Structures are given as C-alpha cells and as structure tokens.
Chains A and B, each alone.
Chain A
Amino acid sequence: MAIKPLRLNVYNLAKKYANTKDNPRGTMRVVAPVIKDNSIKREIGLRMIDAMIKRTLASKDKKGENFKEYSQSYINSTKFKIYKGRSKKVNLKLTGEMQASIDVLSTENNIISIYFDNNEDTAKAEGHVKGANYLPVRDFWGLPDEDEQLKIFEMVIKEYHDETLMQKIEFQNEPIAAKIGEQEIEI
C-alpha cells in the first residue's frame, strides 16, 4: 500500500494552541477566523515541511531516532561520490529532488494535506519509508512532533498578522477582573 499524504487538522491545532493560553475560549475566538485563510494554512503546511526536511537532514527519522547508516557499497559508488563528496551523512538527500517534491497539496476543510508532487519521487520515498530490496527502512515520513507544530502555528500567526492580533490574544488572557478595575471579581 502506498504511503499516504500527511494530514494536519489546523482547527484542532488551533484548539491545542488555545489550550496553552490562560483563556482558551477567548484565544480561539481570535484565532479561529484567521485560520480560515487558505494562505495561512498553506504557510503552516510549508513550515511543517521545512521542519520535516530539517529533521531528515539531521539524520533523524520521524520518531527522532538516527537513520541506519548507508551501506559501504553505496558509499563507494561513483554516484554517491559525485553527489555527496566525502560526506557519509545519512540524510536521504542525493540529488535533492525527492525532498523538493514535497508540497502542500490542499488546504480544504481545515485539513492541510502534504504529499509529493510527482509519482517518481513518491516511489523513492516509499522505498525509504518501507524499505525495499537492500534498502533498509528509514521512515522520515511524519509531521513534526506536537510541540514543534504548536511553535510553528504561533510563529505563522505572529508573522502574518499585525500586532493587534497578538494583542487581542494577550487581552483575552488577561483576567477579566483587571478590566473591571477596583472591583476584585474574576469571571
């Protein structure tokens, strides 16, 4: 069975983000309209891809474990020497085509869908993810962990919206009592 597109529910991510704030409901009220924007969803998806590639280039699989070393025969091959020189780093990057083919395919219905944009690179990725012939499993195909996802989400929200949005979020997190002034009532 072919590897599947990675799917990220941006609404659920927004809820998780809101839950890290003092006033989740208030934060959600501010954030929910923002994530309806497709360009924001696409940007979040692209940052997820950046993080996945960064992890892969650091020789880590989707669980954060080191990839299995390359075989000596592969390291000795001319192709390997042409593309990688003396580096033996296992980062699933030879020509760079496979990693460059990962893209945000759609952002419909709050789901950011990440996949390869052509069959050739999908097949290459499958070889890594599932292992094939003499190729060991090096499963890089997974979204960043939840902490990283939340960081990315906050970063995009901050960057793509003027300061007033973040002020609104902060405002939502302030105790209501502070707004009432002298009366010490918290709601």
Chain B
Amino acid sequence: MADAVNAIKSNILDKIDKDMFEKLAILARDLIWKRTKDGYGVNDDTADLPVKKKLKELSAAYKKKRKGMTLGEFGTTNKSNLTLTGQMLNAITHKTFSDGLLLTIKASARKDGGPNNQELAGYVSEKGRPFFALTDKEQKQIVKEFQRLVRELIV
C-alpha cells in the first residue's frame, strides 16, 4: 500500500509543471485585481492571514479633484478602488517557476511621470490602503484550484 501511494505521489510530482502554476498565477492576479476594483483591500494585521476589508474612503478634496477626469476602468469620482488611470493595478504581473509562482507589481514608469507603479503601490499601502496580498478566502480558492488540477491529473 505504501509503495502504491509513493508511486502515485511521484507520478503527480512529475506532472506538476509551469503550466499549472501559470493557471494559478492568473487566478491569483485576477482575484487581487477584481477585489481591488470592487473597492476592497486587505487588513494590515500581519499576525494572521489577511482578510478582505473595504478600502479607506477618498477625501472630499480628492473627490473634487477627480471630478471631470477621465478615469481608468471601473474608476468613478467617488469610489475608492485605487483607480485613477488604472496603470498601477494593470501592472500586477507574475512569474512562474517549476516549483511555484511569484506575483509582483512591475516597476514600470507611469505616463504622468512621478513614482513608478511599484513605488506607488507601496505608497498607497503605507497610506492606509493595503491591497497587494491574498486574503484568507483567496488563498483557499487557490489551494482548492490547485487540488482540483492535481485531481484532474490523476484521473
């Protein structure tokens, strides 16, 4: 019995490849992008797994400044969803390896100059709108998708 289980494990490990991590990376990126566009970041309590939390409201002065501007996708004057031009969230990218994946925000220059997208993401997080993390439920979705893909492999 133990030999059979070890054989299955070895067979599965051989089949887990970059393609699988590519699927998971796209899922992870989408989860963060969509949640943020929907107006939710994460709590900044690092003692536990991050939890989804409504992003801090925009200030009245900033709302006034945004009025009449052409905003990025799903950006509106009053909604706090880290979308002014949309460049920062669109700069979320990923790399995959044979044994895992990495999500990052590209340090790409912004059309309006100033800090690059990675620096800006750090800035907004420090200023009370952390978003670049996977919440407890998002992590669960990724783990379940990974398990489902593994089950598909052994069918």
Contacts and interface: CB of A to CB of B under 8 A. Distances in A.
B137 A101 contact: yes
A82 B151 contact: no
14 contacts: A47-B151, A50-B151, A78-B74, A79-B38, A82-B37, A82-B38, A82-B74, A95-B35, A100-B140, A100-B141, A159-B8, A159-B154, A160-B5, A161-B1
B112 interface: no
A100 B3 contact: no
Contact of B3 (A101, A159, A162): A162
Interface string A153-171: 0010001111000000000
Contact of A155 (B7, B148, B155): B155
B140 A101 contact: yes
Contact of A97 (B37, B141, B154): B141
Interface in A14-63: 46-47, 50
A81 interface: yes
A103 B105 CA distance: 33
A181 interface: no
A83 interface: yes
Contacts of A82: 34, 37-38, 74
- Which one of B7, B31, B137, B147 has the highest number of Cβ atoms from chain A below 10 Å of its Cβ? B137
B140 A46 contact: no
Interface residues of A, number: 18
B144 interface: yes
Interface residues of B, number: 21
Nearest to B142: A100
A105 B37 CA distance: 33
B140 to A, nearest CB: 5
B61 interface: no
A97 B151 contact: no
Contact of A161 (B4, B35, B38): B4
Given A50-B148, A50-B151, A159-B154, A100 B137 contact: yes
Given A46-B151, A161-B1, A161-B4, 19 more contacts: A46-B147, A47-B151, A79-B38, A82-B34, A82-B37, A82-B38, A83-B34, A95-B34, A96-B31, A96-B141, A100-B141, A155-B155, A159-B154, A159-B155, A160-B4, A160-B5, A162-B1, A162-B3, A162-B4
A160 B2 CA distance: 11
Interface string A127-142: 0000000000000000
Interface string B122-155: 0000000000000001001100100110010011
A110 to B, nearest CB: 21
Contacts of A95: 34-35, 137
Nearest to A85: B34
A80 to B, nearest CB: 10
Nearest to A50: B148
A146 to B, nearest CB: 20
Contacts of B140: 100-101
Contacts of A155: 155
A100 B151 contact: no
Interface string B26-51: 00000100110110000000000000
